[in-house]
Amino acid sequence: MSIRERLSGNEATAYAMRQINPDVVAAFPITPSTEIPQYFSSYVSNGQVDTEFVAVESEHSAMSACIGAEAAGARAMTATSANGLEYMWEMVQIASSSRLPIVMALVNRAISGPLNIHCDHSDAMSVRDSGWIMLFSETNQEAYDNMLMAHRIAEHKDVLLPLMVCQDGFITSHAIENIELVEDDKVKEFVGTYKPEHYLLNKKEPIAMGPMDLQAYLTEHKKQQTVAMQNARSVIKEVAKDFEKMTGRKYEMFETYKLEDADYVIVCMNSTAGTVKNVVDSLRANGVKAGLLKIRVFRPFPVDEIGTALKGAKAVAVLDRVPLLNGTGGPLFEDVVSAMFVNNVNVKTINYTYGVGGRDVTEEHINSVFKDLQELKDMKEPYRFLGLKGRK
């Protein structure tokens, strides 16, 4: 029997962490993720977990402490946002190259500068190819569920990669929603005990972590990381099936909404998907075959599945909640177009930069995207801004 509760996304994440009861949590406060270690520290102080909580002096130190803990054989977690993730950048790479299954809650926020504490995806996109598995969460419920599945995925013997669970800063992190929680004993059984095969404190197998890795072997070791990321696809699906058996909630690599016969499709991630669903319903009621493809697993990217899912559309719009500074498309757009190309899918696809720095994304904005798709004749203007002042 599930437990019905009303929680913010940050509370739900911290609650999942309490149920997981990791060996080590190391964190440094940064808005809007601060509440996660704050809530979790109360569980430590009142004895609900026996976690070693490490209050570090910086985010770089937070990830360093998690690396040390995982290397020693402990299960480690952290949480951060935006500039905090940037400050971790060096250690983020080391965590993945060392094949340490750390789990991080990333509450998405704009990266300075200029200073902005509100939601966009520039933090996650800055580390998208750092060797971390990346799950995105539309709702508080999905953030909680993703966190419960995270260790099962990351710690699998065929994967052994760190994983981040992303949710939108303030939009879900601080908003309160109805949520169904899993009982503590079921979570404990589902997540299981971390039993690493190789770790520093195993006196029967002396090993070194982070050695010099030069020309003779680095390419092969990077290939091993690539294979592990590929392996994560099947592991994510297996874990999701087990999670569905426990909760009844079904998750796949991405979610489709009225996509089967859709002529006009929006591809997006996180909380914006809820707004798109409302607009799809409205357009369907007026005879427009609109649909949504919501990315849940961004890394590893579901290349083949995306190509198949979009092949029947007349036009596609990919929404990137990140400043577009490379002169071409945003990161999600690039991945979607690549997936379509390698699967021989030729559909007109345009890209929108939207919601940067927490700018509101309304149903009017989404309606304008679907209108553009219906009127799309050529690809003269593939890169666009949504909700830009002074323009529609």
Token pair listed for 210: 């982070």
Any residues with CB less than 8 A from the CB of 106 and at least 6 apart, and which? Answer: 33, 79, 80, 81, 85, 123, 124, 164, 165, 166, 167
- What is the identity of the amino acid at 359? R
> For 150, what's the count of Cα atoms within 13 Å in the CB-facing half-sphere?
34
Task: Tell me the mean pLDDT in the region 113-127.
Answer: 96
Q: How far apart are CA 320 and CA 295, in angstroms?
A: 12
Q: Is the pLDDT of residue 136 over 90?
A: yes
User: What's the CA gap between 210 and 221, in Å, rounded?
Assistant: 12
Q: What's the whole-number mean pLDDT along residues 36-43?
A: 98
Predicted pLDDT of residue 327 = 85
| Per-residue pLDDT reduced to its tens digit, 66-103 | 999 999 999 999 999 999 999 999 999 999 999 999 99
Choose between 178 and 324: higher pLDDT: 178
Q: Categorize the per-residue pLDDT at 391 as very low, low, confident or very high, splitting at 50, 70 and 90.
A: low
Calculate the average pLDDT of the chain.
Answer: 97
Average confidence (pLDDT) over 317-344: 95
C-alpha radius of gyration, the chain, whole number? 21
pLDDT, tens only, 181-200 = 999 999 999 999 999 999 99
Residue 250 has pLDDT above 60, yes or no: yes
Q: What is the pLDDT of residue 113?
A: 86
Average pLDDT over residues 311-332: 94
Percent of the chain with pLDDT over 70: 99
Alpha-carbon distance values, 87 to 66, 92, 304 (Å): 14, 9, 34
pLDDT in tens, 218-249: 999 999 999 999 999 999 999 999 999 999 99
Cβ–Cβ < 8 Å for 179, 7: yes
Pairing of strands 315-320, 348-353: parallel
Q: What is the number of H-type helices and E-type strands within the chain?
A: 13, 15
